[in-house]
């Protein structure tokens, strides 16, 4: 299938930009009361697209809908059913999903501040602005929304922490690079880890890493003449094209709990405390990798020297986790491996590995093919940023809660977000480990009688150290699955609401 | 070494008693789909050789798909299937089941047609047994007792390692200290490592005959097979190019029922059921392939992995209804999403080989290419052909197949008399 040029004009900007310069942001969770009025507002909504603007914009608006929202906007049921099963069911629509995502115990949906059963918003309006410009814009948008059949359920605030997440670590260091020009061939097995990902992994309507178009609603061309054409179905318009799914989760972080735990484990030794915290995260507090830079650079990262320093590594040279523990957060979230275990070269060795032979150590090949499980993260911090000293103090009674409004974009929620969250982050057996889940995100709720509150730190010369009784540092406070439509798709949805 | 075996009792359900049967089965569970190990009807945990067991109702929801191939659907039937994976011969387990859970099993099977109230239960189960065309055992000879003992061993060693300081000890010192610790625990009766039983000589002879007999037989008929090969390939490609794909997304309520039974413990069950493509070509292709795959699972893939997949404990393919339908059952670690991901990314060729002979499977190319690589179609196909396991028993919940292999390696190290520094260094990493 010939690759058609990505249509930036028809995409929301979040797919291409993190809006880093627009340091102020908030996410308005809305319910739709009057579909016709809402449709009218949506038709004229000043949506920021993925086109490069010169000068860069001073503000940006992005819109996304839950399945409930699309139904309220009177999108035909048949069309809605063309979205993925996860989106239709929603983040809280199935207990099995909550079990897999680790949304149990204190993080269970019934405790959520938003998004829990019966409390799912219809739409989110994400607004971004330059410093000092958010409040006024937000008020005027709110007025417009309220006058147009929307009810504001909640405003998720964000805080600019200067590129650092609440625990104090530089964040957003590694992101997949989207193949906007269709340079990447997805055919055949990949023997090296690459950061360049097929556009279809993140944008619907384009081929994904399997070389296929991810399922999304297709509508006959007569009924939707101004929607983009479906690449893979003649005579059909593509409601998904240039859109994607967005996973939004409010993750409250116990910053003091995290640092006080690390402190207690290391007898308040400053260097050891930092070292343990960095091992749990899997990066230096500055964002630098725990692994030494490669002698021979592989262009895993982007083109900048900074990105090369931060991202040109895989864990092939640290198979035993002596530099970065196997269970470290960033190693779980992105194990950086290819379709075959390291050292597979040529036809014969591929054949040997393909049939299950040629393993040189017990844990070899447990996890593979990271390329099918990447996430484009667009989250923002909230609450107040603590100083290094404050992090070690007991929380005052009036402590402001802090955390991450986690947002990620992906074309296949089940294979990307849910898989990473379930198999890699929550998985107590990830990469041959036992009795531990993600040191940062883990809910510490036992599964099948197995504890999940340990953290192993391998050492180069002997037995790995196992840290016991790791507390829960992150509690889920809300969440939902959204469809972030392309520009023409948004207009289509808006018109559906008005008829 | 104690070889593993399987049993599968299949009997049609008396329509008027299906509700009663479902109620009975549900009562055996402690949570949806997961058996209470000590439930009074069939107290699974009392059978110390039993690894996994399940009750499934065979209900062909995809029968109508055959029409796309110009064939009539098979007559609708609902059957009860009872499956066990056990240590030692199936006959022995059958006898034990009849002896110690006879009342409960009679109650269950009395909801089936062809179950005379006064029948000999053991004989009845044997008569209704459906042998597997291919059976896969993750590790030949690894008994339930061994799994439990070795898991206790690992736990004790991990605790021991954390409670004493080994920070400055060399791997050799650590190894020797652990050996001494295990010896003292064994003397105190706190740890038991039962040596493997001798391999039954009848089994060994049969296995050797199979090991050499099958290649010999193939060698003998190979001239014929080679002659037929070009015709086979032509027929195959002709069919592959026109066989209909039937891959709609499964009904949401159906999937919800399946999912309600999943991810409750770290291991999951999977049962699937479907029709073979009509005609002798596909039937004989599948008979031959499953025979060949069975050879590999019997003699090659019996040491922790099935091609690249090392999360499957037991799996089997069973022909039913005069080889017009195929039933597949497995017990695997992790979620269905990761299981299907492994299928697609690691062993698509193997899945295609077998399942492309089933009605509606995503289009293959030369029997092994494409097919499962069409990710979403394959996942929809899988879900739509899946059957809910009404009752499922796992004797060793929380212990993955990888854990079992690693625990055995830990034991091997403990029982080893001499290891080189390099060997000890690798062994110490197992903790």
SS (H, E, C) chain B: CCCEEEEEEEEEECHHHHHHHHHHHHHCEEECCEECCCCCCCCHHHCCCEEEEEEEEEECCCHHHHHHHCCCCCCCCEEEEEEEEEECCHHHHHHHHHHHCHHHHHHHHCCECCCCCCCCHHHHHHHCECCCCEEEECECCCCHHHHHHHHHHHHHHHHHHHHCCCCCCCHHHHHHHHHHHHHHHHHCCCCCCCCCCCCCHHHHHHHHHHHHHHHHHHHHHHHHHHHHHHHHHHHHHHHHHHCCECCCCCCHHHHHHHHHCCCCCCEEEEEEEEEECCCHHHHHHHHHHHHHHHHHHHHCCCECCECCECCEEEEEEEEECCCCEEEEEEEEECCHHHHHHHHHHHHHHHHHHHHCCECECCCEECCCEEHHHCHHHHHHHHHHHECCEEEEEECCCCCCHHHHHHHHHHHHHHHCCCCCHHHHHHHHCCC
Cα–Cα dist B93/A368, whole Å: 39
Q: Are A88 and A67 in contact (CB under 8 A)?
A: yes
Going A470 to A475 to A480 to A482, the CA torsion angle's sign is negative
| Residue reference for tokens 């995809």 | B62
Task: Write out the E strands in A140-268.
Answer: 150-157, 177-179, 196-198, 218-220, 236-238, 244-253
Kindly list the residues from chain A whose CB atom is less than 8 angstroms away from the CB atom of residue B30: none
CB atoms within 10 A of CB B48: 13
Query: What is the pLDDT tens value at each position of chain B, 431 positions in all?
Result: 999 999 999 999 999 999 999 999 999 999 999 999 999 999 999 999 999 999 999 999 999 999 999 999 999 889 999 999 999 999 999 999 999 999 999 999 999 998 999 999 999 999 999 999 999 999 999 999 999 999 999 999 999 988 777 767 888 999 999 999 999 999 999 999 999 999 999 999 999 999 999 999 999 999 999 999 999 999 999 999 999 999 999 999 999 999 999 999 999 999 999 999 999 999 999 999 999 999 999 999 999 999 999 999 999 999 999 999 999 999 999 999 999 999 999 999 999 999 999 999 999 999 999 999 999 999 999 999 999 999 999 999 999 999 999 999 999 999 999 999 999 999 999 98
Of A21-30, A187-196, A433-442, B118-127, which gets the smallest average pLDDT?
Answer: A187-196
CB contact under 8 A, B263 and A214: no
Neighbouring C-alpha atoms within 13 Å toward the C-beta of B314: 29
pLDDT at B114: 87
Residue A184 in tokens: 């990447």
CB A38 within 8 A of CB A73: yes
User: Helices B336-355 and B375-385: crossing angle, nearest 10°?
Assistant: 90
Q: Residues near A163 by Cβ (< 8 Å), separated by ≥ 6?
A: A20, A170, A171, A172
CB–CB contact B409 A372 (8 Å)? no
Task: Say whether B431 and A464 touch across the interface (CB within 8 A).
Answer: yes
Alpha carbons B105 and A266: distance in angstroms, whole number: 58
Residue pair A12/A240 in contact (Cβ under 8 Å)? The answer is no
Instruction: Give the integer Cα–Cα distance in Å for B96 and B91.
Output: 9
Q: What is the ipTM of this complex?
A: 0.96
Contact yes or no for B78/B60 (Cβ under 8 A): no
Give B-chain residues touching A356 at CB under 8 angstroms.
301, 305-309
pLDDT, one tens digit per residue, over A402-429 is 999 999 999 999 999 999 999 999 999 9
- Flag whether residue B349 sits within 8 Å of chain A, measured between CB atoms: yes
What is the DSSP secondary-structure string of A242-263? Answer: T-EEEEEEEEEE-HHHHHHHHH
CB contact under 8 A, B402 and A99: no
Task: For residue A90, name the pLDDT band (cuts at 50, 70, 90).
Answer: very high
**Beta bridge partners of residue A229, listed in sequence order:** A237
pLDDT digits (tens, 9 = 90+) for A237-287: 999 999 999 999 999 999 999 999 999 999 999 999 999 999 999 999 999
Distances (CA, A) of B26 to B16, B17, B271: 17, 14, 17
Instruction: Report phi then psi at A396, rounded to 5.
Output: -70, 160
CA distance to partner chain B, nearest, from residue A64 (Å): 24
Inter-residue contact B344 to B378 (CB < 8 Å): yes
Domain chopping of chain A, boundaries? 8-175+206-245+481-498, 250-296+314-478
Residue among A100, A356, A422 minimizing CB distance to B307? A356
| pLDDT for A294 beyond 70 | no
Average pLDDT over residues A288-294: 80
Return the structure tokens found at B332. Answer: 């695997």
The alpha carbon torsion through B192, B193, B194, B196 (nearest 10 deg) reads 170
More confident residue, A308 or A59: A59
- Could you tell me the two tokens for A253? 């972080």
Element housing A125 (H / E): strand A123-129
The domains of chain B are located at: 4-141+199-394, 144-195+400-428
- Interface-testing mutation among A96, A204, A325, A370, with chain B (most B C-beta atoms within 10 A): A96
Residues of A in contact with B398 (CB under 8 A): 447-450
Does A419 sit within 8 Å of B337, measured CB to CB? yes
Q: Is A88 on the interface with B (CB under 8 A)?
A: yes
Is there a contact between A365 and B337 if contact means CB atoms under 8 Å apart?
A: no
Output the six-digit token pair for A398. 């009036």
Q: What's the pLDDT at A355?
A: 92
Q: Is A59 exposed, middle or buried (0-12, 13-18, 19+ CB in 10 A)?
A: buried
Find chain A residues with C-beta within 8 A of B167's C-beta: 462
How much is the pLDDT for B76? 85
Q: Encoding tokens for residue A174? A: 């590694």
Q: Is A460 on the interface with B (CB under 8 A)?
A: no
The crossing angle, in degrees rounded to 10, of helices B401-415 and B421-428 is: 140
Asked if omega into A55 is within 30° of 0 (cis), the reply is yes
**Cα–Cα distance between A373 and A333 in angstroms, integer?**
9
Distance from CA of B81 to the nearest CA of A (A): 25
Residues 243-272 (B) with a CB less than 8 A from some CB of A: 249, 252, 255-256, 259-260, 262-267
Contacting residues of B for A212, CB less than 8 Å apart? 374-376
Distance separating alpha carbons of residues B36 and B260, to the nearest angstrom: 16
> Given a cut of 50, is residue A295 above it in pLDDT?
no
Model pLDDT, residue A298: 53
Q: Is the pLDDT of residue A399 over 80?
A: yes
Residues 203-222 on A with a CB inside 8 Å of B are: 210, 212, 214-215
Please give the residue of chain B at the shortest CA–CA distance from A361.
B426
Mean pLDDT over each residue of chain A, to the nearest integer:
93
A205-B369-B227 Cα angle (round to 5): 155
Shortest CA distance from A216: residue in chain B: B376
Q: How many CA atoms lie within 13 A of B120 on its CB side?
A: 6
Q: Do the chains contact at B167 and A215, CB–CB below 8 Å?
A: no
Is residue A453 helix, strand or coil?
strand
Residues 367-406 of B with CB under 8 A from A: 373-376, 397-398, 400, 402-403, 405-406
Do the chains contact at A88 and B252, CB–CB below 8 Å?
Answer: yes
Chain A, window 402-421: residues with a beta carbon less than 8 angstroms from a chain B beta carbon: 414-415, 418-419
Alpha-carbon distance of B374 to B426, in angstroms, equals: 39
The answer to whether A325 and A331 are in contact (CB under 8 A) is yes
Chain A contact present for B428, CB below 8 A: yes
Please name the member of A215, A368, A450 whose beta carbon is closest to the beta carbon of B398: A450
What is residue A445's predicted lDDT score, i.e. its pLDDT? 95
The Cα of A273 is separated from the nearest Cα of chain B by a number of Å equal to 18
């Amino acid at each position: 299938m010939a690759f058609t040029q990505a249509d930036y004009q028809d995409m929301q900007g979040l797919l291409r930009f993190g809006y880093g310069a627009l340091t102020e942001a908030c996410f308005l969770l809305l319910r739709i009361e009057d579909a016709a009025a809402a449709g009218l507002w949506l038709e004229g909504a000043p949506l920021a697209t993925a086109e490069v603007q010169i000068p860069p914009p001073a503000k940006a608006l992005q819109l996304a809908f839950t399945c409930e929202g699309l139904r309220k906007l009177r999108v035909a049921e048949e069309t809605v059913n063309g979205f993925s099963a996860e989106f239709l069911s929603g983040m809280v629509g199935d207990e099995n999903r909550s079990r897999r995502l680790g949304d149990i115990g204190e993080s269970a949906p019934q405790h959520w501040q938003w998004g829990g059963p019966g409390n799912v918003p219809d739409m989110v309006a994400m607004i971004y602005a330059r410093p000092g410009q958010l409040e006024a814009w937000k008020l005027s948008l709110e007025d417009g929304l309220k006058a147009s059949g929307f009810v504001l359920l909640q405003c998720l605030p964000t805080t600019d922490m200067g590129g650092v997440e609440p625990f104090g670590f530089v964040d957003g260091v590694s992101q997949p690079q989207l193949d906007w020009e269709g340079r990447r061939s997805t055919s055949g097995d990949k023997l090296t880890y690459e950061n360049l990902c097929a556009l279809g992994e993140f944008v619907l309507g384009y081929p994904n890493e399997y070389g296929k178009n991810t399922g999304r609603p297709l509508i006959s061309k007569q009924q939707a003449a101004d929607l983009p054409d479906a690449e893979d179905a003649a005579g059909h318009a593509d409601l998904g094209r240039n859109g994607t799914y967005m996973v939004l989760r409010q993750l409250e972080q116990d910053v003091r709990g995290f640092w006080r735990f690390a402190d207690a484990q290391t007898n308040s030794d400053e260097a050891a405390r930092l070292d343990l915290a960095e091992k749990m995260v899997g990066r230096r507090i500055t964002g630098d990798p725990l692994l030494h830079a490669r002698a021979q650079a592989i262009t895993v990262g982007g083109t900048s020297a900074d990105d090369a320093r931060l991202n040109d590594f895989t864990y092939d040279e640290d198979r035993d986790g002596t530099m970065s523990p196997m269970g470290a957060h960033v190693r779980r979230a992105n194990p950086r491996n290819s379709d075959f275990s390291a050292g597979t070269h040529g036809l014969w060795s591929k054949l040997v590995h393909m049939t299950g032979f040629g393993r040189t150590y017990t844990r070899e090949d447990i996890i593979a093919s990271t390329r099918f499980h990447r996430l484009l993260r667009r989250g923002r911090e909230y609450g107040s940023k603590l100083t290094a000293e404050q992090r070690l103090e007991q929380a005052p009674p009036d402590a402001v809660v802090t955390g991450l409004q986690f947002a990620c974009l992906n074309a296949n929620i089940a294979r990307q977000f849910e898989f990473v969250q379930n198999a890699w982050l929550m998985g107590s057996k990830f990469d041959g480990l036992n009795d531990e889940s993600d040191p940062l995100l883990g809910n510490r709720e036992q599964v099948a009688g197995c504890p999940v509150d340990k953290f192993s730190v391998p050492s180069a010369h002997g037995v790995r150290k196992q840290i016991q009784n790791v507390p829960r540092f992150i509690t889920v406070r809300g969440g939902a699955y959204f469809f972030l439509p392309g520009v023409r798709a948004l207009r289509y949805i808006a018109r559906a609401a008005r008829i | 070494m104690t070889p593993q075996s399987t049993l599968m009792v299949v009997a049609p359900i008396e329509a008027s008693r299906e509700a009663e049967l479902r109620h009975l089965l549900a009562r055996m569970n402690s949570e949806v789909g997961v058996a209470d190990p000590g439930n009074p009807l069939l107290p699974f945990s009392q059978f110390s050789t039993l690894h996994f067991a399940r009750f499934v109702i065979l209900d062909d929801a995809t029968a109508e798909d055959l029409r796309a191939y110009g064939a009539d659907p098979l007559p609708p039937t609902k059957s009860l299937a009872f499956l066990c994976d056990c240590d030692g011969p199936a006959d022995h387990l059958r006898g034990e089941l009849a002896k110690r859970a006879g009342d409960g099993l009679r109650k269950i099977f009395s909801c089936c047609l062809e179950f005379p109230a006064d029948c000999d239960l053991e004989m009845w189960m044997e008569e209704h047994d459906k042998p597997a065309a291919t059976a896969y055992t993750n590790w030949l000879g690894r008994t339930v007792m061994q799994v439990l003992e070795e898991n206790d061993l690992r736990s004790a060693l991990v605790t021991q390692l954390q409670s004493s300081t080994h920070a400055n000890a060399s791997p050799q010192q650590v190894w020797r200290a652990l050996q001494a610790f295990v010896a003292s625990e064994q003397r105190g009766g706190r740890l038991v490592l039962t040596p493997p039983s001798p391999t039954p000589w009848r089994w060994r002879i049969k296995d050797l005959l199979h090991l050499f007999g099958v290649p010999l037989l193939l060698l003998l008929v190979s001239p014929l097979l080679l002659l037929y090969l070009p015709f086979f390939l032509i027929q195959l490609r002709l069919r592959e190019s026109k066989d209909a794909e039937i891959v709609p997304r499964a009904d949401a309520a159906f999937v919800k029922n399946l999912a309600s039974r999943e991810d409750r413990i770290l291991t999951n069950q999977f049962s699937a059921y479907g029709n073979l493509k009509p005609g002798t070509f596909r039937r004989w292709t599948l008979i031959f392939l499953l025979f060949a795959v069975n050879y590999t699972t019997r003699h090659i893939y019996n040491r922790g992995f099935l091609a690249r997949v090392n999360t499957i404990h037991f799996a089997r393919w069973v022909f039913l209804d005069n080889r017009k339908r195929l039933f597949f059952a497995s017990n695997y670690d992790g979620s269905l999403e990761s299981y299907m991901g492994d299928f697609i990314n690691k062993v698509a060729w193997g899945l295609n080989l077998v399942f492309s002979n089933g009605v509606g499977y995503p289009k293959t190319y030369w029997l092994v290419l494409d097919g499962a690589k069409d990710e979403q179609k394959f996942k929809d196909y899988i879900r739509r052909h899946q059957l809910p396991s009404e009752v499922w028993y796992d004797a060793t919940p929380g212990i993955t197949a990888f854990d079992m292999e690693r625990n055995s390696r830990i034991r091997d190290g403990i029982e080893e008399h001499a290891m080189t520094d390099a060997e000890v260094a690798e062994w110490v990493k197992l903790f």
